[in-house]
Structure 1
Amino acid sequence: MELLVHDLLQIRHIEGIISNEKVPQWVRESLFHSPWVVVRRAPLQDGIIPIGVRGEHRNQRFGAYLPSSEVVMKVTPEQLVSQAGWRTSARLHTIRAFQILDIVSSYYGRYDWSWGLTGSIGFELASSTPTARPDSDLDIVIRMPQPLARETARTLHDWHTQLPIRVDAQLETPFGAVALAEYARHEKQVLLRTSSGPKLVNNPWSP
């Protein structure tokens, strides 16, 4: 099974999680109510998947590992866009991000990009668990195997700033992820999030 950072996984058993630390009680409670985790940015090791568990509060994030045999289902950020589940969500009139996603999807349609939804919005659409808040940011991942022109990045970022909610877009390069806003602003070094940690780089598409 091919896995990418930000993919959402439904897991089979809470006990399947592997961690060198004691698993907090909130993690068990969270997975009992919603057995979903996200693939995090870390090296994969012999069928062991690096995962993140999200809790009810922002400070509740727990990194662990999961054997691939414990995966029941995978949902990618791109699938969440193609399924457009926000249109039929019972919380459409509550969550502002849901209300603008048709506009965002239409705008992104002018580009030949593979992109998807992450964060609390993506998690809610995948798991049907009400994790988003009315004012939640809209988190987006854009798969960008080839360098993106700075002018295009600035155009997209400027369009994001006109939306009624904050958009946090990440450009996913073959070597890690860089924030669209930072890439659009800076001509020189930017922070690249890699599987071995953050690095300052001149070119996010260069090893």
Structure 2
Amino acid sequence: MTGARAHDLILLAEPAMLLTGTEPDWVSRSLAAAPWVVVRRATAPPGLLAVGVRGAARHERHAAHIPQQAAARLVRPEDLRTGDGTGTGVGTDTGGAERTAALKTLCEVRPVLEDTACLWGPVGSVGFEKATGRPATTPTSDLDLVIRTETLPTARWASGIHSRLSRFPARVDCQIETPAGAVALAELAAGPPRLVLRTSSGPRLLTHDAVNALAAAQACHWSHRDALGVRERP
């Protein structure tokens, strides 16, 4: 599995490989219905991926590790950005693009985010539903999004996007994902002197410039590893 990142969704080749007998009962039922897991923002031993299993209830989340070869397919948020789910052709119709406010909002935010020229896509319940074809959103679901950037945009840029994303039927919760980690769009838009950067080793409080320096260093590290043929990314 090449370059899996936080929020990517993975279709398991053998769901039973994840089961150890110590997990809650709902985990096996969930995997039987939809053998998909989401890549977590966490460190993992060499050759393994940190993933999470999503259950039917909001509190049903299970952390696990899988061998990289257990992944039959990887779907990124940016593959699912079209409102009708045709980003990659994965999944099936779950009742129309407007089944819930969150799905309707995915259709409506597309022009705003396409204007940024950045990679972006849905995560959370909307992303899971689009990838798996199984209903996961509810009438009260937020639309969770990620915007992929190599460096952290300015507060002014973030403020403009945040303002435009505040006008839709469902609440939009967006993160800016850099090679160093993620920053909440709303926080970046507010322009504080320091930002909470979510990393695989935990949150860090850094200045805007420090986040960009770390992102540049991480991107360089990835390029060096790829040149050496080391494919997994932290």
Q: What TM-score does the superposition give when structure 2 sets the normalisation length?
A: 0.81
Q: Distance in 2 between matches of 1:27 and 1:47?
A: 23
Measured after TM superposition, the shift of residue 23 of structure 1 is 1.1
Please name the residue that 1:41 is paired with. Answer: 41
Mapping of residues 96-135 of structure 1, within 5 Å: 96-135=101-140
Q: Distance in 2 between matches of 1:50 and 1:121?
A: 21
Please name the residue that 1:192 is paired with. Answer: 197
Q: Distance in 1 between matches of 2:144 and 2:124?
A: 5
Matched, 1:178 2:183: yes
The C-alpha deviation readout for 1:26-62, integer Å capped at 9, x for no partner, is 1111111111000111124322111011111111111
Mapping of residues 86-165 of structure 1, within 5 Å: 89-165=94-170
Q: What TM-score does the superposition give when structure 1 sets the normalisation length?
A: 0.91
Measured after TM superposition, the shift of residue 86 of structure 1 is 7.4
Residues 84 and 2 from structure 1, CA distance in 2 versus in 1: closer, same or farther, beyond 3 angstroms?
farther
The C-alpha deviation readout for 1:93-141, integer Å capped at 9, x for no partner, is 3211222323211111211101111000000000011111123111101
Greater alpha carbon shift after TM alignment, 81-90 vs 47-56: 81-90
Residues 123 and 138 from structure 1, CA distance in 2 versus in 1: closer, same or farther, beyond 3 angstroms?
same
Runs of 4+ in 1 over 6 A off after TM superposition: none
Q: Distance in 2 between matches of 1:147 and 1:181?
A: 13
Sequence identity percentage: 37
- What stretches of structure 1 of length at least 5 have no aligned partner? none
Please name the residue that 1:206 is paired with. Answer: 213
Matched, 1:54 2:54: yes
Please name the residue that 1:16 is paired with. Answer: 17
Q: Secondary structure at the match of 2:128?
A: helix
Q: Secondary structure at the match of 2:176?
A: strand
The residue type equivalent to 1:162 in the other structure is R
The C-alpha deviation readout for 1:1-44, integer Å capped at 9, x for no partner, is 2211111001122321277x921111111111111000111124
CA contact 1:18–1:64 (8 Å) conserved in 2: no
CA contact 2:8–2:38 (8 Å) conserved in 1: yes
Measured after TM superposition, the shift of residue 82 of structure 1 is 4.7
Residues 98 and 153 from structure 1, CA distance in 2 versus in 1: closer, same or farther, beyond 3 angstroms?
same
Please name the residue that 1:66 is paired with. Answer: 66
CA contact 2:112–2:164 (8 Å) conserved in 1: no
The C-alpha deviation readout for 1:115-168, integer Å capped at 9, x for no partner, is 111000000000011111123111101111123011110111111112121001
Q: Distance in 2 between matches of 1:17 and 1:181?
A: 36
The residue type equivalent to 2:139 in the other structure is P
Q: Distance in 2 between matches of 1:83 and 1:72?
A: 24
CA contact 1:86–1:98 (8 Å) conserved in 2: no
Across the two proteins, how many residue pairs are aligned to each other? 206
